[in-house]
Amino acid sequence: MAYETIIVETRDHVGLIRLNRPEALNALNAQLVEELGEALARFDADDAIGAIVLTGSEKAFAAGADIKEMQGKSFVEAFREDFITRNWEAAARTRKPVIAAVAGYALGGGCELAMMCDFILCADNAKFGQPEINLGVMPGAGGTQRLTRFVGKSKAMEMNLTGRFMDAAEAERSGLVSRVVPADSLVDEALATAAKIAEKSLLAVMATKEAVNRAYETTLSEGVRFERRMFHALFATEDQKEGMEAFIDKRQPQFKDR
């Protein structure tokens, strides 16, 4: 598949997607969103892939939705095509883990896209923000909701209302990112983390991801019940037998994703 706005590679069992519109700081236009959705779906369906890394350039993960493309939209167009949400949720729909590796700007839709991934590793030059308020609008792909869940009401409200950017240190302190690494080792670090995940049983990985995400959608008691049922279900897999047998035999497990 030939893409024009993203670069797609595989590294062993890891899928790597680079957003690639350098002329627009990786602004997310319709073509990019379409191509990204397609690439994520392909990796999700590929038995050889265990985890996915999504990254941009050193200067920008993505500077938001493409303002030049959306400037002329009418309410009727935006509403009828369900602008933003319909295609944009691909990263959140992916069942295999997706790691966002963020260097430089992750603004507006770029920040929202990173938050749709399962966790964010960022470079020390990363800047996160929801500056839509400066354009006379507001976030449209989860910025008021996911950012609030990540960093709490006070910071999310301030960032959404003022458009202030958060640097990497503040993002780590606030729980928006899992780790900060030097910019020049960001992609290697993300690939190594993804490779570590890809070594595990894919069934256990997917069930774990689903259970963690359930924490955001339900009550504690229902979430814990869901977790326990998924835990029980994993005893039906060959990988559970292999994983526990390997521990007892003091050897590395050979998971078959069955």
Find the binder of ligand CAA among 135, 211, 224, 234 (CB under 6 A). Answer: 135
Nearest residue (CB) to ligand CAA, 49 versus 98: 98
Asked if 68 touches ligand CAA (CB under 6 A), the answer is yes
Asked if 109 touches ligand CAA (CB under 6 A), the answer is yes
Rounded CA gap, 128 and 61, in Å? 10
Catalytic residue at 108?
no
The least distance separating ligand CAA from the CB of residue 184, rounded to whole angstroms, comes to 20
Query: Token match 């049983």: residue?
Result: 201
Dmax of the chain from CA atoms? 65
Asked if 30 touches ligand CAA (CB under 6 A), the answer is no
Nearest residue (CB) to ligand CAA, 108 versus 253: 108
Asked if 43 touches ligand CAA (CB under 6 A), the answer is no
Asked if 132 touches ligand CAA (CB under 6 A), the answer is yes
Catalytic residue at 65?
yes
Given the residues 132, 140, 141, 142, select the one marked as catalytic: 132
Interface region with ligand CAA, contact rule CB under 6 A, candidates 5-13, 63-71, 89-97, 175-183: 63-71
Find the binder of ligand CAA among 17, 49, 65, 126 (CB under 6 A). Answer: 65
Nearest residue (CB) to ligand CAA, 134 versus 213: 134
Find the binder of ligand CAA among 15, 50, 56, 139 (CB under 6 A). Answer: 139
* CA distances in angstroms from 112 to 2, 85, 144, listed in the order given: 26, 11, 9
Interface region with ligand CAA, contact rule CB under 6 A, candidates 10-18, 22-30, 90-98, 220-228: 22-30
**Residue by residue, what is the 3-state secondary structure of the chain?**
CCCCCEEEEEECCEEEEEECCHHHCCCECHHHHHHHHHHHHHHHHCCCCCEEEEECCCCEEECCECHHHHCCCCHHHHHHCCCCHHHHCHHHHCCCCEEEEECCEEECHHHHHHHHCCEEEEECCCEEECHHHHHCCCCCCCCCCHHHHHHCHHHHHHHHHHCCCEEHHHHHHCCCCCEEECHHHHHHHHHHHHHHHHCCCHHHHHHHHHHHHHCCCCCHHHHHHHHHHHHHHHCCCHHHHHHHHHHHHCCCCCCCCC
The least distance separating ligand CAA from the CB of residue 42, rounded to whole angstroms, comes to 24
Asked if 37 touches ligand CAA (CB under 6 A), the answer is no
Asked if 131 touches ligand CAA (CB under 6 A), the answer is yes
Give me the residues that bind ligand CAA (CB under 6 A), please.
24-25, 27, 63-68, 84, 105, 107-109, 112, 131-132, 135, 139-141, 143
Active-site positions? 65, 109, 112, 132
